[in-house]
Every structure is written in C-alpha cells, then in structure tokens.
Amino acid sequence: MLSREHRYPFFQGVPENTYTTAYFTLRYRKRDGGGIRCAVVVGKKVHNLSNIRNRVKRVFTEKLAETMENWDASYDLVFYLKKAVLDDDVEVWERSIRESLKKLGVVQ
C-alpha cells in the first residue's frame, strides 16, 4: 500500500495529460513540490468480481511502490487499469510502468 503522503486526493479533480499503454491509461500532472502522489483505479470493465479487481489493484500498487523508491520528481499520477492486465504477468506490468514513466520524464 502507498503511504498516505503518496496517495492522490481526487477532490482536486483528475490530471489533464494522458498517456495510454496496453495495460493502463495514465493521467499525469507536474506539481511544484511535495513528491509523487499516485492512485490506481480498476473499474468494473476489468472484471465483475470485486475480489479480483482488488487483488489486481493491490499487486499493481505494490509494483508501483517498488519502482517509486528512488524517485525525486513531483507529479500526480492516476493509473486507470485495463482488462489486459488480467492476461499478462506482473513482470510485464512492471516493465510497462517503468517504460511509460521514463518516456514521460518522471523517472530517469
């Protein structure tokens, strides 16, 4: 689970910029300071059963937190997961997270 300081509060609305991969759509916004804040959204289109959606969200958040350990940028990130996450391994998700964040300049 992400620590409280790294969780994105939705009362500010969602970030404007988007980046799409096969596994997720990322909405992001650069901030003035305060580090990275993230959210992971898994809708009912991914799977009807909530326990499967929660498991996917939990594993995705763990992999995201592992990759966040050495970040020093200030961004708001909201990941909207797609149904394709059920078909592939966790390592593929992690690679997709790293590649997309490198393309956006969030991570070096």
pLDDT tens digits for 14-70? 888 899 999 999 999 888 887 888 899 999 999 999 999 999 999 999 988 888 777
Where is pLDDT greater, at 53 or 105? Answer: 53
Q: Please tell me the pTM assigned to this model.
A: 0.89
pLDDT band at 83 (very low <50, low <70, confident <90, very high): very high
Contacts of 62 (CB under 8 A, 6+ apart): none
Q: Is the pLDDT of residue 75 over 80?
A: yes
- How many CB atoms neighbour CB 81 within 10 A? 21
> Coil, strand or helix: which one is 76?
strand
Q: Which domains does the chain have, with CATH numbers?
A: 4-91 (3.30.230.10)
Contacts of 81 (CB under 8 A, 6+ apart): 23, 24, 40, 41, 42, 43, 46, 56, 57, 60
